[in-house]
Structure 1
Amino acid sequence: MKIISLILLFTFCVLTGFSQEWTLEQCINYAIEHNLDAQTMKNRIKESKIKLCNSRNNRLPNLNAGLEPSIYFGRGPGRTGSYQDNTQLNTSFNVVAILPIFSGFSIKHDIQGREFELQASLQDLEEVRENISMNVLALYMQVIMCKELLQVAKDQVQLSQTLVNQKKWLVDAGRILESELFDSQAVLSNDKFNQIQSENELNQSLLNLSQALNLEKISEFDITHPILLDTGLPMPNKNVENADSIYKLAINRRPAINAEKNRLKSMEENLAIAKAKRYPNINLSGGYANSYFYSFIKGYNNSLFWEQLKNNGNEFLSVNISIPIFNRLVTRNQIRSANISIENQKIVIEQTQQDLRKQIDQACNSFYSSWRKYEAAQQSLHAANEAFKNQQDRMTLSKTTIYDYIDAKNRLRTAKSNLLQAKFEYIFSVKILEFYKWGHLACD
């Protein structure tokens, strides 16, 4: 039994201490689920649904009941309506229902306007999700780049360590001065410092990503490498990746534009509601009323309660027609105000479309410039690698100085760093264009 308990305890410790590696898709889904802005937008959607429900319910009749008990001391109205000097109790109650028959179609337009507002809220939520996804993508790729830069720093430390070992052997053999060993050890110390700095940058990037996800426990947080980063990068195709074609695809898919278009439709319905106030309102009313009377005068013959209810009850049915004639020009000004709101909303839509076009132009320009930068970085790395190999061979034969070797090694490290930065910049620009083209962020 103790052995089984120890095994279970060990398994629990291993599982709880296991550092889970998060994929990009997991990070995005978690960030969307726990983001406060997204939760706020969900509550706004709930409010829009409630408002829509209220608008639909305006078609239903309005039913109310009333009860009015009164006690008169001294002179008060009697059962016949004449005033008498007595103390009496008079109670009346009624049930009234009012059904809207015609209101200039304002109820219909109000329902449609609420539906458009709900659609706008749904599009706002989608926009928030997309912004979260793009932010997580940028932070996710920053972590991966820091990881690869850390590997470059580790490689530099390994090279410097190998050089120090060679110098120690040569010093022990009496073939070089000890000062050259000191120089190589100084290079190793500097490379170790750069490695620590790269580790700190990696930890900071992981912290930034975990905070974007609103993680509670971040000590064991880590991510995986997407497959795309370890394979060949796609070459740009100007016949496919151009701003005009991407804009035509994106303009009908972007939630920001669709949200503003739905708000425009809602404002057009508000204009119809304002115009509906020019028409008459017709309501159908019906109800039931009854009363009870009791006099406290000594010797007064009060009828029984149920007998009075039987005799005093009455039903009614009426039609109420309200015709607008003059309301101090309020309706006219409301129509004018609604038209101005529509014009302003059209400007907002146009501005949103212009912003989208500018964003796509910037994304396409970044796409092609980052590819040229990536190609140049590849050539630079190839040249720096060849130069370093030459200096490494010459250093082995003691035919070059430590300073020339350090310079070649630093140029190789810079070339590797530049290639990594250009590589990630190009991958990010590819993701951005795919996002604008297809309306969603690819997580592969």
Structure 2
Amino acid sequence: MSLQKFTGAILVLFMFAAPAVAQDTWSLQRCVDYALANNISVKQQDVQKRLADLTLKQSQMSQLPNLNGAAGGGLNFGRNADPATYAFVTKSYFASDLNLTMDLTIFNWFTKRNTIAANKLEAQANGFLMEKARNDLGFNVANAFLQILLYKEQVKVNEVQVKLTLNSLENTKKLVQAGSVPESNQADLEASLAQDSTNLVTAQNNEILSVLQMKALLNLGFDIPFQPEVPANIASLPLPRMDEVAPEMVYSAALATYPLIKTDELRIQSAKKALAAAKGALYPSLSFSAGMGTQYSENYSERDFSNIKGPFIDTLGTVKVGGGDYDVLGRPRYDVGSRTIPFNTQLSNNFYQNVGLRLRIPILNGWQQRTAVNRAKLDVYNKELTRDLDNQKLRQDIYTAHANAIAAIQKYSASSVGVTSAQKSFDFATKRYNLGLLNTIDYITIQTKLFKAQIDKVSAQYDYIFKMKLLEFYRDQKIAL
């Protein structure tokens, strides 16, 4: 058996003998809903949004007073100052301290409030970026869905082409056996079948790749079957009229609905608030502070009157009186013991408090604050440039999409006429070929033209639908089939 015959036989077996397996179908809405819940890029944007929310919350909490407590203890060796008596001692002892401090900014030229306002605007901007990510994902899923439908239609056209070539080949074989046509006609058709089979395999592979792309957007397991729910009549999908999607009309609508434009405006406002916060740091700030604490030292002792020894009388000297020596005695003395003051007593006795005001006046700090202000000014300007660039790109994209949509309409109309003409030509050619009035090469050429016209029409139809849906997306920020 020749290679062409073998290829054709395998394809025919694949097309007609494979059992049909019922599969759960995926509508476009189901695809979009599943993607919004599982797409990795959307999840990443959600993380960015939550990070912005945390930054806002932290800046809001910074308005509260700073309150800190501390406790410490340790052994001291050698000569050092006793923290309780402030006397220098040369002995080892245990000491500990407890303290609680608080400070509150009273006025800092609204630096904190401007920072909070900047973070709030940034959080809102991230909310619109989240909306943009969801809208873009919905559009990409719809585009991938259309691609799958396109390649499915191309597979159908290629299957029909293979069937037609197979039928022609079977008829030609009979004519060759009858001696009506030369054997070269059969060889030409076998070569044409091999080419048609290759085209079918390519179309089937394109369909597989488009399904894989859809699964990546859905974050769906690549081993899970995916069967799109094909609309009953793709040609009857609701599409806007061209006068409803004029470029300037679409651009005006997009300025009010496009999330990226809203994000740019919010980020400009946020940068201006950050600039005001940076300027506030150039001026004096006033803060209030308060604290309390206590301490304990093992070396801090007191007299213990419960442990008195004595009396002890010391001899100061002797005197001679009447020829005799008499001792001169001093006053009686007593030795009073000592003890470490109890822990609770020391904490009570050493308890201290303080309150104060602090005026901070920035004079020279390596030009850091001035640099921060200049950076903030440049950041405002850069975000304004980003807004202008995004506006320019949006307008260019809309005008480009509109021009492409007009071209797609014209191409679809021309391809529809082309299919009608090619079909008539092929029908006449088939009759002439069956009567032996047309050679095989010319017949295959006419058949190929019909096949190409059908493929072009299918591609033009889906391209037209996509271009119109793109304009609709720019206008309404949603897409539906």
1:142 is aligned to 2:179: no
Whole-Å separation in 1 of the counterparts to 2:294 and 2:443: 109
Residue number in structure 2 paired with 1:118: 123
Whole-Å separation in 2 of the counterparts to 1:391 and 1:273: 81
The normalised TM-score by structure 1 is 0.86
Moved more, 95-104 or 57-66: 95-104
1:443 is aligned to 2:473: no
1:220 is aligned to 2:233: no
Moved more, 95-104 or 135-144: 135-144
Q: Where do 5+ consecutive residues of structure 1 fail to align? A: 1-16
- Post-superposition shift, 1:116? 1.7
Whole-Å separation in 2 of the counterparts to 1:287 and 1:376: 86
- Counterpart mapping for 1:230-241 below 5 A: 230-231=235-236, 234=239, 236-237=241-242, 239-241=243-245
- Post-superposition shift, 1:264? 1.6
- Counterpart mapping for 1:286-435 below 5 A: 286-295=290-299, 299-435=337-473
Whole-Å separation in 2 of the counterparts to 1:301 and 1:443: 89
Residue number in structure 2 paired with 1:261: 265
- Counterpart mapping for 1:93-104 below 5 A: 93-104=98-109
1:41 is aligned to 2:22: no
- Structure 1 residues 168 and 108: alpha-carbon distance in aligned structure 2, compared to 1, 3 A threshold: same
Residues 239, 465 of structure 2: 8 Å contact kept: no
Q: Which amino acid aligns with 1:55?
A: S
Moved more, 215-224 or 70-79: 70-79
Residues 135, 477 of structure 2: 8 Å contact kept: no
Cα-Cα RMSD: 2.8
Whole-Å separation in 2 of the counterparts to 1:255 and 1:78: 63
- Structure 1 residues 240 and 304: alpha-carbon distance in aligned structure 2, compared to 1, 3 A threshold: same
Give CA-to-partner distance per residue, 1:187-223, whole Å, 9 cap, x none. Answer: 4444334333332332333333334433323363222
Give CA-to-partner distance per residue, 1:344-392, whole Å, 9 cap, x none. Answer: 1111111111111111111000010100111111111111111112122
Moved more, 281-290 or 226-235: 226-235
Whole-Å separation in 1 of the counterparts to 2:85 and 2:188: 121
Bigger Rg, structure 1 or 2 = 2
Whole-Å separation in 2 of the counterparts to 1:219 and 1:420: 28
Residues 210, 218 of structure 1: 8 Å contact kept: no
The normalised TM-score by structure 2 is 0.79
Residues 107, 287 of structure 2: 8 Å contact kept: yes
Other structure's SS at 1:324 match: coil
Residue number in structure 2 paired with 1:155: 160
Residue number in structure 1 paired with 2:9: none
- Post-superposition shift, 1:18? 4.8
Give CA-to-partner distance per residue, 1:390-419, whole Å, 9 cap, x none. Answer: 122223333333333222211111111111
Residue number in structure 1 paired with 2:252: 248
Give CA-to-partner distance per residue, 1:42-63, whole Å, 9 cap, x none. Answer: 2222221221111111111111
1:208 pairs, out of 199, 213, 221, with 213
Residues 52, 123 of structure 2: 8 Å contact kept: yes
Moved more, 34-43 or 377-386: 34-43
Q: Where do 5+ consecutive residues of structure 2 fail to align? A: 1-20, 302-335
Whole-Å separation in 2 of the counterparts to 1:350 and 1:305: 70
1:60 is aligned to 2:64: yes
Residues 45, 130 of structure 2: 8 Å contact kept: yes
Q: Which amino acid aligns with 1:26?
A: R
- Structure in which a larger fraction of residues adopt helix: 1
Q: Which amino acid aligns with 1:226?
A: P
- Structure in which a larger fraction of residues adopt strand: 2
Residue number in structure 2 paired with 1:164: 169
Other structure's SS at 1:287 match: strand
Other structure's SS at 2:245 match: coil
Residue number in structure 2 paired with 1:12: none
Moved more, 318-327 or 58-67: 318-327
Moved more, 403-412 or 380-389: 403-412
- Post-superposition shift, 1:229? 1.4
